[in-house]
A and B are shown apart, each in its own frame.
Chain A
Amino acid sequence: MNDILYIDLNSCFATIEQQARPMLRGRPVAICNRITPNACIIAASYEAKACGVKVGMRRMEAKTLCPDLIFAETEPDKYIFVHEKLKRIMQDYSANVVMKSIDEGVIDLAEAPPHIRERNRYEIGREIKQRLLTEVGDWMRCNVGIASNRFLAKLAGELHKPDGLDEITPENQRDIFATLKLTDLPGINVRMERRLNAVSIFTPLEFLDADEEILVKLVCKSIDGSKWYKRLRGIEVDAVDYGIKSVGRQYVLESKLLSREEIEARILHLAEDVGYRLRSKDLYARGVYVWTYGYDDIYSHRSTILKTPINTDADICRTTMQLYDELPAPVRIIGVTLYKLQDHPEAQLCFYQDKIDRAQNICTAIDKINLRFGARTVHSARSMGTDHVKTKIPFGSTRYLDHSIT
């Protein structure tokens, strides 16, 4: 019996807005982080998608396609609440639940209690859908995909959107693959499609029938070819936790007219935010990476690898500003990322250890105050007036949903 269930909320943010505001139901809705004339759409309701509105489209373009389109700004609290509800529902079926992002997760029933393992998978899928309706709201829909590994379960979940419930088995896999394009497979983008085409693989069935050696030596030119060979056959190769490699944030500046000092305040806000996230996971960073994206579409970046790991706001902000000072202006998007993470401070005691301890204690005290009284109750004076630099929705990792400081 297949043990993997892939649960995916349909048009997550737009559906949640329609759930929260009944007057939006049945109407085309687009969600943006901030409603500005050139805002980028990060989610669209099915009604909007039917008009041709797509994620990533600019507001003006979408409005031309769909004049009745309604725009709403993201509200992270709502989405985190629904995410937590969905996670709790999923955890009622197995302890082995992994949330892949804010709107999708995997239930592995392999080690679930016997009374759940023995149940029909379709029955469990239908029950999860029903519980979403009764425990979150009657507008909520999700796709459920069932298969023997994460890849095929995700594919099954994408077969009939919205509100689908499908299973891929060895018996029906070839029939399903015959109806799909290569780019319908999760993880196959246009570039990968070109590489497959180069060795005369043009359909998912041809991909399935390809020799492992061809995939390893000619397509992927790495062990990834072997992973694809196994993935396509329902063997699990994706149950891997890669850990936290980096912590970062970016921000699209709200105006072209911001002064250097105003941009610096926003950079410092980002640095304080990533510092808080780093400390919330008891981590230290040696790498600091600062990048900007200019109005001329030029990407600029500076990075440094420090001799000693840091995690205090003072150290992170100082290093960030040193790097930012080397970057050209004017900028449209700014970003700060910490990398080369480790879970321990410097092993060797420093000659000025008392100063380091003092800075660490101040930082810990500020974190405690902010946890008790709310985000940014205490912060550096230079990042004042930037409370609107709110945290965006983490599309990838869900690691910081319980520590978000907006």
Chain B
Amino acid sequence: MDQSSENLHQPIDVDATFSRKFLGHCRPLAFRTESGREVQIAQIGLVHPKYDGLKTTFAFDVTDGATDYRLALDTESLNWYLEFEGDHYE
């Protein structure tokens, strides 16, 4: 792989809107990493749930137009994490 990292699980701050007109109702708009880097989300690819026992995490596969990211919303703690970052691949 080129510049890609998986299973990062970095806590992040996310700006999001909640509206019925969006698939899954929640739409992240931008996020900031702990190091202060800010990423504006240009497009959401897929939003899907991941189950670990009864715990559900929602995975948001998004891009800023140059790099793909996976953001994860933990539905128990309502915390957001950056799980994956990649600008592809091999």
Chain A residues in the interface with B (C-beta under 8 A): 16, 19-24, 27, 69-72, 77-78, 81-82, 135-137, 139, 370-375, 377
Contacts and interface: CB of A to CB of B under 8 A. Distances in A.
B45 A19 contact: yes
Contacts of A77: 48-51, 59
Contact of A135 (B23, B50, B63, B87): B23
Contact of B89 (A72, A136, A374): A72
B54 interface: yes
Given A70-B89, A70-B90, A78-B46, A21 B53 contact: no
Interface in B18-69: 23, 43, 45-46, 48-55, 59, 61, 63, 66-68
Given A21-B45, A70-B89, A78-B59, 16 more contacts: A20-B45, A20-B61, A21-B63, A21-B68, A21-B88, A22-B45, A23-B63, A23-B87, A23-B88, A72-B89, A77-B49, A136-B46, A372-B53, A372-B54, A373-B53, A374-B53
A81 B45 CA distance: 14
A24 B88 contact: yes
A377 B51 CA distance: 13
A78 B84 CA distance: 15
Contacts of A375: 52-53
Contacts, number: 65
Contacts of A371: 53-54
Nearest to B66: A23
| B contact face: mostly helix, strand, loop, or mixed | strand
Contacts of B90: 69-71
A367 to B, nearest CB: 11
Contacts of A70: 88-90
Given A371-B54, A374-B55, A71 B89 contact: yes
Closest 10 CB pairs of A and B: A81-B48, A374-B53, A20-B46, A20-B61, A374-B52, A21-B68, A20-B45, A373-B53, A22-B63, A70-B89
Contacts of A71: 89-90
A372 B61 CA distance: 26
Contacts of A377: 53
A21 B86 CA distance: 10
10 contacts: A19-B46, A21-B68, A23-B68, A24-B88, A70-B90, A78-B46, A81-B49, A82-B48, A137-B45, A373-B53
A78 B48 contact: yes
A102 B48 CA distance: 16
A376 to B, nearest CB: 10
A113 B35 CA distance: 57
A374 B88 CA distance: 31
A78 B58 CA distance: 11
Nearest to A24: B88
Q: Which of B46, B68, B89 has the most CB of A within 10 A?
A: B46
Contacts of B86: 21
A82 B55 CA distance: 20
Contacts of A374: 52-53, 55
Contacts of A19: 45-46
